Amino acid sequence: MYLFSSLCIFLAVFGVVSAVSPINLENCTPGSFFVENYIKYECFENDKVKGYSIIGCQPSNDLTGTTLTQWETFNDKWFKYHCVIDGQNAQYSVKACLDPVGEVLPVTKTRSFPNGETFTCFIERNKVKLNHQTSEHNLNYHAIVPANYVIVRSNGDIEI
């Protein structure tokens, strides 16, 4: 008999919203790996029962590249992501924006540079975005995954 498991990924912005992503284990070969929604899994079989275990977060969203373990972070050009694993639950989420020199720019904060460029990190529709303004253009970059577990501090600061 095959055991079909579900992975709950909790996504939240100013509250808790949950989403369940069923994983089909029929084609899961024991010892093999797969990636779904930036989470890397390993298939196993014990006494005719198939299952999977969470290995880590996969920034590439495929089997190539680095696998992050609990609390490890990954930076792309404009965003800092982190991996949170709790038993059968895992999430790969954006933690903050990055400015052009790689410094963390927290959500709701703005940083200006001597050349006139301004960068603002903000949340819009559950996505962390970075606004880049110059005298010639106004661009918005957005993170590849939603903002999770947003905390609004009493002073108005937002922590994710």
**pLDDT of residue 69 exceeding 80:** yes
User: How many CA atoms are closer than 13 Å to the CA of 58, on its beta-carbon side?
Assistant: 18
Rounded to the nearest integer, the mean pLDDT of the chain is: 80
Give Cα 156 distance to the centre of its chain: 23
**pLDDT of residue 142 exceeding 50:** yes
Q: Residue 127's beta-bridge partner residues?
A: 124
Q: Which pLDDT tens digit goes with each residue over 51-62?
A: 889 999 999 999
**pLDDT of residue 131 exceeding 80:** yes
Domain residue ranges of the chain, discontinuous segments joined by +: 1-160
Percent of the chain with pLDDT over 90: 54
Q: What is the mean pLDDT of residues 8-15?
A: 27
d(CA 100, CA 29): 43
Q: Do the Cβ atoms of 88 and 70 come closer than 8 Å?
A: no
Q: What is the mean pLDDT of residues 77-84?
A: 94
Q: Looking at residue 160, what is its pLDDT?
A: 54
pTM of the complete model: 0.74
d(CA 46, CA 21): 23
Q: What is the mean pLDDT of residues 98-117?
A: 96
Q: Looking at residue 13, what is its pLDDT?
A: 27
Q: What is the mean pLDDT of residues 121-133?
A: 92
